[in-house]
Amino acid sequence: MAKIRIYQLAKELEMSNDELLKILDDMGVTYKSHASTLEEDTALAVKELIGEQKVAEAARKAEEARKSIPHRPPVVVIMGHVDHGKTSLLDYLRKSRIAEKEAGGITQHVGAFEVKTPGGTVVFIDTPGHEAFTTIRQRGAKVADIAVIVIAATEGVMPQTKEAIAHAKASGAKIIFAANKMDLPGADINKVYQDLMQLGLVPVAYGGDVEVLPISAKTGQGVADLLETILLMAELEDLRADPKAEAQGVILEARVDKQAGVLASLLVQQGTLRIGDYVVAGECWGKIKAMSDAEGNRRTEAGPGSAVQVLGFSELPSAGDTFTWVPDQVAAKEITEERIEERKASEARGDLQRARSLADLMRKAQQDEQKEINLILRADTQGSLEAIQNILAKEATEEVKINVLLAAVGAPTESDVLLASTAHGAILAFSVNPSGSVKKAAEQKGVPLQSFRIIYELIDEIRKMVKGQREPVYKEEILGTAEVRAIFRLSRGVIAGCMVTSGKVTRSADIRVLRKGKEIWKGKIGGLKRLKDDVREVTQGFECGILLDGFTDFQEGDVLEASQQVEVATD
């Protein structure tokens, strides 16, 4: 960059001459006229300063713009072991909401409902159970911000509790534990604490950061504290959504009504959805003709955090499909037609084929440049599980990370298949047999499912799996040397008559030509003969003829050093 006048630099930086003169003055460089010339280093310093100021200003404006977007209510899913009270908690929350309304209560199921508290509104997904939640998430939609996992204080952590934790963690949702049934005589919250500690989850009561709240879904004890904790966690997450943006969200449920047609329950996550809007969800599109909330009230619009039932889709969308606003019917049709064509093309190429074995899964991971393996472990006893997990811990490396999504006693379940499918993982079963329905589900979803009866076979499979992810490391191994004793010039090339003085020389070896101890050439063997026969190798003490691929300038006394590349074991 050459010298530049102040007015020229001001124009380049899109500022007035006086503004630039003021900046120069602040830098301790005083100029009287905008026609003054700046030295190159001064101009560069000004540009750097202005650039930093612009970046800082852009960041400040972006943060101001983000803070101007209003907060949205947190979306919560409730999970837990069967009969631990997740449905009872949902029922209690529904009733607490209805009690504040006039007679009539809920008139329809829209997949989610709101609970208003003095501290704010909380949206609950009205589908208990982690399988339904994961089915939605499997299609790529992040639905819940917070997962409340219900544990009966009379029983503690059970198998499905562990599954729920795995599903919640895989979703990225924050987790709160609700120790339910505290109204019963056998309730023991300390058992819940201890059980969670065994899973590596340290409760706040024990100095950790895991929230565990005592509640009773029957009496309502602690439910207000639970709601307060949800809102506090949401505040820390700083959840925001722009109601002025183009509407988008997720399909929670969809069904065909004999009279009305296709009805879809939507959770609006961004923007505002209005009557008359066109939306696209998966390979379906629709024009919103009618809209109503969980109380059956007709709505003309729905903002972020609202769950509504809408009429207007041309076909039945799938739960978990993301819906987005589009300007008109033409755009809606174009987008859905493109998606259908893309799917058909992918199917024709076979892109939708998923891994059928651990080896396939590893190859796919390498193709995708992944260095992470997601596993679900099932075994006959807790001791077997711990042994397998110890093996995994030893086999994992800095290059390859092994994530155990779930480790549980008992046969693999269809829920395991769902979780593995969502996380692009595999299921390893030891001394337990998956049922026919689970095998079928794994086959349909392309989830690798392997069963083992002998621990060493499982160990070998894990080692192969990890090794397949590592970059191979090689070292050079010297095979032997041969000394050039005679040189034969033939029509097909120059042959070095040699005596193998150590080790052996093989036909596939790499060769260095050494002259007086210095390397003068390196390459491959073009031919290896013993007497008149082509041979694979010649050992120490025998004569042979060697033709090199690309080298003919032999001298008597040259040494040919044979070597090969050997993969180094990284175990």
The span from the CA of 387 to the CA of 379, in Å, is: 10
The span from the CA of 501 to the CA of 496, in Å, is: 14
In terms of Cα–Cα distance, which of 466, 249, 238 is closest to 373? 466
DSSP class of 29: -
Question: If DSSP codes are grouped into helix, strand and coil, which group holds residue 454?
Answer: coil
The span from the CA of 350 to the CA of 123, in Å, is: 40
Question: Token pair for residue 541?
Answer: 């003490």
Exposure string over 516-539, b if 16+ CB within 10 A, otherwise e:
eeeeebeeebbebbbeeeebebbe
Q: Is residue 229 within 8 Å of residue 222, measured between CB atoms?
A: no
126 is in an annotated binding site: yes
H-run or E-run covering 452: strand 449-452
* 3-state secondary structure labels for all residues of 474-539: EEEEEEEEEEEEEEEEECCEEEEEEEEEEEEEECCCEEEEEECCEEEEEEEEEEEEECCEECCEEE
351 is in an annotated binding site: no
158 is in an annotated binding site: no
80 is in an annotated binding site: yes
3 is in an annotated binding site: no
362 is in an annotated binding site: no
Beta partners for residue 285, in sequence order: 280
46 is in an annotated binding site: no
86 is in an annotated binding site: yes
312 is in an annotated binding site: no
127 is in an annotated binding site: yes
34 is in an annotated binding site: no
H-run or E-run covering 194: helix 189-198
Q: Is residue 246 within 8 Å of residue 325, measured between CB atoms?
A: yes
Question: Token pair for residue 27?
Answer: 């830098």
395: which residues sit within 8 A by CB, 6+ positions away? 402, 462, 463, 466
Question: Token pair for residue 201?
Answer: 């989850």
512: which residues sit within 8 A by CB, 6+ positions away? 519, 521, 522, 560, 561, 563
The span from the CA of 514 to the CA of 520, in Å, is: 6
180 is in an annotated binding site: yes
162 is in an annotated binding site: no
328 is in an annotated binding site: no
87 is in an annotated binding site: yes
Question: Token pair for residue 82?
Answer: 């069967």
Q: Is residue 466 within 8 Å of residue 395, measured between CB atoms?
A: yes
83 is in an annotated binding site: yes
Q: Is residue 408 within 8 Å of residue 432, measured between CB atoms?
A: no
129 is in an annotated binding site: yes
**Which residues does the annotation place in the binding site?**
80-87, 126-130, 180-183
**Which residues does the annotation place in the binding site for GTP?**
80-87, 126-130, 180-183
